[in-house]
Amino acid sequence: MLTEELMQGAQKYLMDTYTRYPLALARGQGTRVYDVEGREYLDFLAGVAVNVLGHCHPKVTQALQQQALRLVHTSNLFYTEPQVKLARTLADHSFADKVFFSNSGAEANEAAIKLARRWAHTKDGAGRFEIVSMLNSFHGRTLATLTATGQEKVQQGFEPLPEGFPHVPFNDVDALASAVSAKTAAVLVEPVQGEGGVRVATPAFLQACRDITKERGALLIFDEVQTGIGRTGRLFAYEHFGVIPDIMTLAKGLGCGMPIGACLATDEVATVFTPGSHGSTLGGNPLACAAALAVLEVILEDMDILGHCTEMGEYFMKGLKDLQGRCPVITDVQGLGLMIGIEVTMDARELVHDLRKRGILINATSERKLRFVPPLIVTHAEIDRVVTTLGDVIEARR
């Protein structure tokens, strides 16, 4: 089917929950995707920070093919080897002892919220239930996670929202200290805000999150749905800061395109989840776990991928900051590893449109902010092309 046919079909049959680009993609390989008419695009969106190893990585594809021939789904009433292996790999390479698998980042965060509330209830009774999160954060679109999200635009029309989700400004230690009280079950924070415009937490703020929660008997949850699995140059972003949470959530890059989320926790916290307290029919199914295990094996067996991500991230940041020096339209450049955002004084969505017409895919997180989250295998030449083309489209619109 051609792009126009697919657009018409989507308009007729799909609920209108996305502002889609006029582009129908048919296949991908590495850092490139191709539309149904055969046009090639350099993908610096990567499924919104999902395709960390690029499109159709051979080891991930092989793992999917082999597992699909054996067992696609059973039930969590039974044990499967891919699930246990994946949980062990995540625990072995993180602070955590136990893992709960779901299908998405929102579900992983939902599990984290429930786990924190149940832990607090078990420890201190029903009065400790609040989850303090950050303004401009994003944690998902279930009722609980959109309430935890510090953006009113995703909450509108879904009121009344669940109670117990106060918000404080990101990187504001004093506001955090004032908000955490005897009612607080946990503080929920992204080490790098993604949908909020790629804003990096300061080390002092994350350390304060740890110190304040520990002092006041609350838990610390890191939402690493977007930052996890190598995106920042470390397997997990918390490693940059030396601050260890009690709970961490993952998704996006974990499956490199397969739907999977994970909620990781220490033994002390995880023990409050008992049979029947939480679950997911499809969470941790053999097919998704086989893909995720292959992703981790590639990254852990070839640690140069993380070093490459760090090198390319620094190179990309330098290129964008040099461009900022020549283009006053760019007012800010922030990022960590290959998770980078810039703020502009013109309509960011128009720049996204212009870049797409020139064969480059990115997205805008707001009217003034662009996000770049390419696969970790991106090259110097590809980064040069994006920086140069971005400069060209900015100049063309001035």
CA–CA gap between residue 115 and residue 273 (Å, rounded): 7
Residues 43 and 84 in one domain: no
Number of domains forming the structure of the chain: 2
Is 61 exposed, middle or buried (CB count within 10 Å of its CB: 0-12, 13-18, 19+)? Answer: middle
Task: Identify any residues that bridge with 333 across adjacent strands, giving them in sequence order.
Answer: 342
Residue 165 neighbours by CB distance under 10 Å: 22
CA–CA gap between residue 38 and residue 32 (Å, rounded): 12
Q: Is 236 a catalytic residue?
A: no
Phi then psi for residue 101, to 5 deg, are -100, 140
State the residue range of the domain holding 194.
58-301
- pLDDT in the model for residue 302: 78
Helix axes 304-326, 286-301, angle to 10 degrees: 80
CA–CA gap between residue 385 and residue 390 (Å, rounded): 8
Residues 6+ apart with CB under 8 A from 37: 2, 3
- Of 301, 322, 347, which marks where a domain is finished? 301
Q: Do the Cβ atoms of 143 and 162 come closer than 8 Å?
A: yes
3-class secondary structure, 197? coil
Is 297 exposed, middle or buried (CB count within 10 Å of its CB: 0-12, 13-18, 19+)? Answer: middle
Phi then psi for residue 119, to 5 deg, are -60, -45
Residues 148 and 217 in one domain: yes
Residues 88 and 161 in one domain: yes
Residues 133 and 74 in one domain: yes
Residues 377 and 393 in one domain: yes
Residues 265 and 221 in one domain: yes
Q: Do the Cβ atoms of 170 and 155 come closer than 8 Å?
A: no
DSSP type of residue 155: T
Q: Do the Cβ atoms of 121 and 129 come closer than 8 Å?
A: yes
- pLDDT in the model for residue 326: 94
Short-list 283, 248, 289, 295, CA closest to 104? 283
| Catalytic-labelled residue, pool 165, 246, 252, 372 | 252
Residues 277 and 188 in one domain: yes
Q: Is 205 a catalytic residue?
A: no
In tens, the pLDDT along 11-21 reads: 999 999 999 99
Residues 201 and 85 in one domain: yes
- pLDDT in the model for residue 398: 78
Q: What is the CATH number of the domain that holds 389?
A: 3.90.1150.10
Exposure string over 116-151, b if 16+ CB within 10 A, otherwise e: bbbbbeeeeeeebbbbbbbbbbbbbebebbbbbbbb
Looking at residue 6, its amino acid is L
In tens, the pLDDT along 115-163 reads: 999 999 999 999 999 999 999 999 999 999 999 999 999 999 999 999 9
| Catalytic-labelled residue, pool 100, 138, 205, 372 | 138
Residues 14 and 65 in one domain: no
3-class secondary structure, 91? helix
- Of 301, 333, 359, which marks where a domain is finished? 301
Residues 42 and 73 in one domain: no
- pLDDT in the model for residue 242: 96
Looking at residue 250, its amino acid is L
Could you read off the pLDDT tens digit of each residue along the chain, which spans 398 residues? 889 999 999 999 999 999 999 999 999 999 999 999 999 999 999 999 999 999 999 999 999 999 999 999 999 999 999 999 999 999 999 999 999 999 999 999 999 999 999 999 999 999 999 999 999 999 999 999 999 999 999 999 999 999 999 999 999 999 999 999 999 999 999 999 999 999 999 999 999 999 999 999 999 999 999 999 999 999 999 999 999 999 999 999 999 999 999 999 999 999 999 999 999 999 999 999 999 999 999 999 977 999 999 999 999 999 999 999 999 999 999 999 999 999 999 999 999 999 999 999 999 999 999 999 999 999 999 999 999 999 999 999 87
- Of 301, 335, 367, which marks where a domain is finished? 301
List C-alpha distances in Å: 316 to 236, 245, 309, 386, 388.
20, 29, 10, 9, 11
Q: Is 252 a catalytic residue?
A: yes
- pLDDT in the model for residue 44: 98
Residue 268 neighbours by CB distance under 10 Å: 12
Residues 149 and 197 in one domain: yes
- Whether omega before 58 lies within 30 degrees of 0, making that bond cis, reads no
Short-list 252, 194, 189, 185, CA closest to 225? 252
Residues 46 and 91 in one domain: no
Short-list 61, 58, 59, 27, CA closest to 43? 27
| Catalytic-labelled residue, pool 170, 205, 223, 241 | 223
